[in-house]
Structure 1
Amino acid sequence: MKIGKVSATEKSPTTNDEFILWLDDKIEIKPFDIVQAENNVGDKNSTTYAMIQDISHITDSSGHIGNYVSSDFGDLDAEPMTKRLGVTYAKAKVVHNTKDVYMPLRDGTIVEFADEAGVKEALGLENIKNPIPAGFLDVSNNIAVPICFNSDFLIGPEGAHLNISGISGLATKTSYAMFLLQAIQQTKNDVAIIIFNVKGNDLLRLDENNPLLTDAQRAAWSKTGLECKPFTNTRYLYPFKENKENFYCNTSCEKETLAEQISNNTANTYVYTYKHARETNILDLLFSNIDDPGFTMESILNVIAEKNEFEDLDWISFKEKLGENTMKGQNKGQEITVQSWRKFTRLIRKSIVNPMFQRTLSTVRDKKNCLLSDEIKKIKKGEAFVVDIAKLEEQLQGFVFGDVLQAITELKFGETERIEEDIPKKIIIFVDELNKYASGNTPKNSPVLKNLLDITERGRSEGTILFSAEQFKSDIHDRVQGNCSTHVYGRTNDIEISKPAYRYLQPTFKNMMTRLDKGELIIQNPILEFKYAA
């Protein structure tokens, strides 16, 4: 479908990177639309594809005062004797040429909408290797083009890690993450998934059919090449709480759902014993959000790990032992002061009052106790674990998150008795509210931040992949952001897009972010960049 012609002027020439086109008065276009034009040079007949960026309208008026005067000095009902000459034009960025011809388009060249095949060719989506469905690109000529990622650039080894940002409730961050993870589970048989449920209970029923799906939505799933079905091989891990009526789970999940999960043997409650926490060296995770410039907390943790007096304890006797060190005169001549021991004791007592800190694993069958890190290290190919942390305090959420990251690292580095062939080739971790664990203000000595940096910087080659989401991308640590190969942007606000995290994006793209509808996202990937409705 023809939409206009290339326009080259003295002050606005066409280049090998971009061009201007004037539009037919009846044509409607929008940013991100893909257009095409013939680019014939010598004996080479090729097609140039471009993406619409800015759209403007101009008249022959020299200024706004002239327009005011021509309307009978501001009469809103006045009809002009002669309509002004005006034209709507658009700026388009060249994205591809079929024969690698990058000579500028000539003035007067016809420009058309690209059809579905043209859009795929323009964005390099014709023969995607190892495709993972990513959604649809909706364009103005009423076509929806199925889009796929190359898995090598999404989950490694060429590129890895995904970050989704946008205003809560409007950006569909979690919904899109679940769509991608479902696509990965359906197309990859050597991948395991670990999902953190940080709020509500929407992620605690991933193995159930969604009764709200419409026929049109099911058809859209089929068009992407996916089967519209719930997750399979799913397990749920809940923090323990002494509450028999709620199946000993500290969760907001409905009792009916819990009962079904318990009967299907797909749910467990996780606890932490002192012996396990000391042996696995995870006590430091309780101090992830504590700034420790003098390394006093670290020094105390080293004492706890090394001294025999802290062996063979439980949480109660551990608190008693800490209390001894807070007494005046007990630490005379020692490097660690009584004040430091008191601060440490105050902070750790606040955390370990939670019922998931137990003396030992319960032998009561109904409690279904387990050690979380041990369960994580048993994860198999094709499984999806959901770790519920929604009802835990923020500091304990970080503790559990850090414990899982550490367990995955140990599993991937061969620090278990499992044989390598049995371990999932890739383990994908999804966490919302990433800013809680990897913001620019997170203490530099935070063990959780350290684990996240290790994963984002080395996980691509080791098979540990981070999928994350947050409301404001600008809050996230630069090194975590910088190591994500794929960025997805949902609706956000003007204040956010003014931050340095968005400086490399085109102004048009940034402005579009403030107007995206629910379900619309802008995606940036090493091999493509576009907007689509997920």
Structure 2
Amino acid sequence: MIGVSVEASEASEPVGRVLGTADATPLQFWTAVTPGSYLQLDDVVVTRRDLPDREPVTIAGVVTQVRARHEGAQFDSDVFAIAEGTLPALVQEAAEVTTTRVDPELYVPPAPGAIVHRASGAARDAALHFDRMERRVPMGTGRDGVPVFLNADFLDGTRGAHVSISGISGVATKTSFATFLLYSVFRSGALGADGANARALIFNVKGEDLLFLDHANTKLDEPTTAAYKLLELPATAFPDVRVYAPPRANDSSGAPDVSSRLTGVDSFYWTLEEFCADRLLPYVFADADDERQQYTMVVHSVTAHLARHAVPAEGGISIDGRRLGGYGDLVDHIVDQLTDDETRSMWAGSAVNMGTVNAFARRLIGSKRDLSRLIRGDLAARRPHRIKTAESAQVTVVDLHNLPDRAQRFVVGVTLKTEFDDKEKSGTGRPLLFVVLDELNKYAPREGSSPIKEVLLDIAERGRSLGVILIGAQQTASEVERRIVTNSAIRVVGRLDPAEASRPEYGFLPPAMRQRALLARPGTMFVNQPDIPVPLCVEFPFPAWATRKSESGPPPVGTQRSIVQSVDPFTVVGGRGGAALDRGGKPVPSPHDDDIPF
């Protein structure tokens, strides 16, 4: 109990006393700081209230505001006379404390004059409810330099799920915190038996920074290594990573479109047959504004027609007896059929007018440039090309940064829908799948509807029961679909724009902390979780894995993935889904076939 820790610490010098000139309530009070001592924002303090005929009540809290003033001064100009010593006055500091725990739960105010201690050790853990967390995930250190934890029950779906991270792009380090949190979840052992089979799906949308998660960071220094040791985490790279990238544009070999990482990258794409059979056409129209248009009726009619009539053919598909070898051919055929008076009703229905058909056709034709390299008829389907986390590594990185906006939406929408459908079919919440998606305000905006937004809403509302955990990042939480944000049990804020900080979505931040978010430096986050009534200021360590080519060292010995990259379209790229195959279909031996993921 907290009370035991307070009594043990009472021999030390107190940091202050409960203020008698300001109202003290069970949930908030002020403490006068002892001369020669100090309190800073985020300090954890504890005091005790004695009651007649009952056990003492221990009240613990976090400092949420600090002020200093001259006592004895009446006018603003008195400060000069006081500084010169001609006017007597005292400097008094006081700290506002927001209660985090009352033990036992007798909600009485602390008595004015009661001694206030700075909490440490077991008292600090109790004040921040860490002692009640059966499974703790280290997420950094507090302002006191002591580890701060996240309750895994509110992360893995046991009592809650999903993480929302907000902040200014390039300053708030949202992606860095998301990857560190993921690393901590996997390496801390907080998931228990579930950790061995848990998977992560990361969409890389900015540069090639996340393509080196399995490479050690050559800039790792001793203080950073010590910070990981303090958190009881190894200072190493992610041991089991698989990277996917889109094929290069106008490249018939299907080689992945990356420049900095030259080995260990698989290409991803969809065959024409898969595009038709899996009904993927709606994800071509994945902008939130598209769903407001009448041509969505045509989208669904054409999708159903393709699913019924497209059949596999050598080098593509066949529809109505016509062989189609690429996405451009498919688009041209659809437009021809829709603009033909004899076939239009069969493809789009009889109730659709020509204006609606033309609106659909214009947008479909515009998608050829963006999607032709992703939807292929010239690459063999037997080559591993589908993103399947169950058949991949523990961490799967999907690189999108070289794709235009429409193509990014298509990949995100189709991949998430496939993964979510697979989880639904399995009917179980295990193994866990963590999805890291940046720019959430683009894929699930507050206004409008789209196939991607519907998938993300499904994950936010039903993903917890299916073991799909969304770690979403965005510059502006106010522009993200409200139900996605409110379903996030963990909310994280980095550096904020002043206008954004005033939005009601950040109402969980105390006024002083909301103002501090305007000044937060990279690596500092404010984390709110259901266990603790006050958000905690957290500083997480520099990544132990490379975040760019210039920092990249070798992958961990014994866990390096052997993935063959070849420009030969008949060579299967090896990985967890199967061995590499040569032209004759025979397995190519790998020196790492016996690698076992941690």
Bin of the TM-score, shorter chain as denominator length: 0.7 to 0.9
Residues of 2 paired with 1:175 and 1:70: CA distance? 45
Counterpart secondary structure, 2:130 = coil
Counterpart secondary structure, 1:2 = coil
Residues of 2 paired with 1:86 and 1:359: CA distance? 74
Counterpart secondary structure, 2:196 = coil
In structure 2, the partner of 1:52 is: 63
For residue 344 of structure 1, report the CA deviation from its aligned partner. Answer: 1.7
- Percent of aligned positions with the same letter in both sequences? 25
Residues of 2 paired with 1:457 and 1:295: CA distance? 28
For residue 310 of structure 1, report the CA deviation from its aligned partner. Answer: 5.6
In structure 1, the partner of 2:351 is: 335
Q: Which of 358, 362, 365 matches 1:346?
A: 362
Alignment map for 1:28-177 (pairs within 5 Å): 28-42=38-52, 43-60=54-71, 66-68=75-77, 71=80, 79-139=84-144, 144-177=145-178
Residues of 2 paired with 1:523 and 1:391: CA distance? 32
Residues of 2 paired with 1:387 and 1:399: CA distance? 13
Q: Taking structure 1 as reference, are residues 326 and 2 closer, same or farther at Cα in structure 2, changes over 3 Å only?
A: same
Equivalent AA in structure 2 for residue 495 of structure 1:
A
Structure 1: runs of 5+ lacking an equivalent:
262-266
In structure 2, the partner of 1:430 is: 436
For residue 234 of structure 1, report the CA deviation from its aligned partner. Answer: 1.2
Equivalent AA in structure 2 for residue 148 of structure 1:
F
Q: What whole-Å deviation, never above 9, does each CA across 1:202-260 have from its counterpart, x for those lacking one?
A: 10011111111111111111221211111122111110125779982223x41xx323x
Residues of 1 paired with 2:235 and 2:108: CA distance? 45
Q: Which of 200, 210, 214 matches 2:217?
A: 210
Q: Taking structure 1 as reference, are residues 82 and 352 closer, same or farther at Cα in structure 2, changes over 3 Å only?
A: same
Counterpart secondary structure, 1:40 = strand
Equivalent AA in structure 2 for residue 300 of structure 1:
V
Equivalent AA in structure 1 for residue 374 of structure 2:
F
Residues of 2 paired with 1:355 and 1:248: CA distance? 14
Q: Taking structure 1 as reference, are residues 134 and 394 closer, same or farther at Cα in structure 2, changes over 3 Å only?
A: same
Q: Taking structure 1 as reference, are residues 39 and 489 closer, same or farther at Cα in structure 2, changes over 3 Å only?
A: same
Residues of 1 paired with 2:332 and 2:466: CA distance? 42
For residue 168 of structure 1, report the CA deviation from its aligned partner. Answer: 1.8
Residues of 1 paired with 2:411 and 2:185: CA distance? 25
Does structure 2 conserve the Cα–Cα contact (< 8 Å) formed by 1:195 and 1:386?
yes
Q: Taking structure 1 as reference, are residues 242 and 512 closer, same or farther at Cα in structure 2, changes over 3 Å only?
A: closer
In structure 1, the partner of 2:330 is: 318
Q: Taking structure 1 as reference, are residues 70 and 316 closer, same or farther at Cα in structure 2, changes over 3 Å only?
A: closer
Q: Taking structure 1 as reference, are residues 60 and 303 closer, same or farther at Cα in structure 2, changes over 3 Å only?
A: same
TM-score normalised to the size of structure 2?
0.78
In structure 2, the partner of 1:412 is: 423
Alignment map for 1:390-469 (pairs within 5 Å): 390-414=401-425, 424-441=430-447, 443-444=448-449, 446-469=450-473
Equivalent AA in structure 1 for residue 39 of structure 2:
I
Equivalent AA in structure 2 for residue 494 of structure 1:
P
Residues of 1 paired with 2:396 and 2:411: CA distance? 14
Residues of 2 paired with 1:25 and 1:297: CA distance? 70
Residues of 2 paired with 1:102 and 1:108: CA distance? 18
In structure 2, the partner of 1:264 is: none
Q: 482-491 vs 38-47, which deviates more?
A: 38-47
Equivalent AA in structure 1 for residue 272 of structure 2:
Y
Alignment map for 1:367-406 (pairs within 5 Å): 369-372=383-386, 375-376=387-388, 378-379=390-391, 383-406=394-417
Q: What whole-Å deviation, never above 9, does each CA across 1:368-411 have from its counterpart, x for those lacking one?
A: 95442xx316436x611111111111111111001111111121
Counterpart secondary structure, 2:183 = helix
Equivalent AA in structure 2 for residue 178 of structure 1:
T
Residues of 1 paired with 2:375 and 2:483: CA distance? 37
In structure 1, the partner of 2:552 is: none
TM-score normalised to the size of structure 1?
0.86
Residues of 1 paired with 2:80 and 2:234: CA distance? 59
Residues of 2 paired with 1:246 and 1:303: CA distance? 30
Residues of 2 paired with 1:155 and 1:478: CA distance? 21
In structure 1, the partner of 2:304 is: 305
Residues of 1 paired with 2:376 and 2:536: CA distance? 53
Does structure 1 conserve the Cα–Cα contact (< 8 Å) formed by 2:247 and 2:254?
no
Instruction: Establish whether residue 241 from structure 1 lines up as the match of residue 248 from structure 2.
Output: yes
Does structure 2 conserve the Cα–Cα contact (< 8 Å) formed by 1:284 and 1:447?
yes
Does structure 1 conserve the Cα–Cα contact (< 8 Å) formed by 2:139 and 2:538?
no
Q: What whole-Å deviation, never above 9, does each CA across 1:419-456 have from its counterpart, x for those lacking one?
A: x79x9521111011111101213x22x01000000000
Residues of 2 paired with 1:194 and 1:298: CA distance? 32
Residues of 2 paired with 1:531 and 1:176: CA distance? 13
Q: CA RMSD in A?
A: 2.7
Q: Taking structure 1 as reference, are residues 357 and 409 closer, same or farther at Cα in structure 2, changes over 3 Å only?
A: same
Q: What whole-Å deviation, never above 9, does each CA across 1:436-492 have from its counterpart, x for those lacking one?
A: 101213x22x01000000000010111011011111221211011000000011011
Does structure 2 conserve the Cα–Cα contact (< 8 Å) formed by 1:172 and 1:518?
yes
Residues of 1 paired with 2:378 and 2:186: CA distance? 32
Does structure 2 conserve the Cα–Cα contact (< 8 Å) formed by 1:270 and 1:369?
no
In structure 2, the partner of 1:285 is: 283
Does structure 1 conserve the Cα–Cα contact (< 8 Å) formed by 2:246 and 2:374?
no
Q: What whole-Å deviation, never above 9, does each CA across 1:13-42 have from its counterpart, x for those lacking one?
A: 322112111113433322221111232223
Q: Taking structure 1 as reference, are residues 70 and 123 closer, same or farther at Cα in structure 2, changes over 3 Å only?
A: closer
Does structure 1 conserve the Cα–Cα contact (< 8 Å) formed by 2:253 and 2:379?
no
Equivalent AA in structure 1 for residue 292 of structure 2:
P
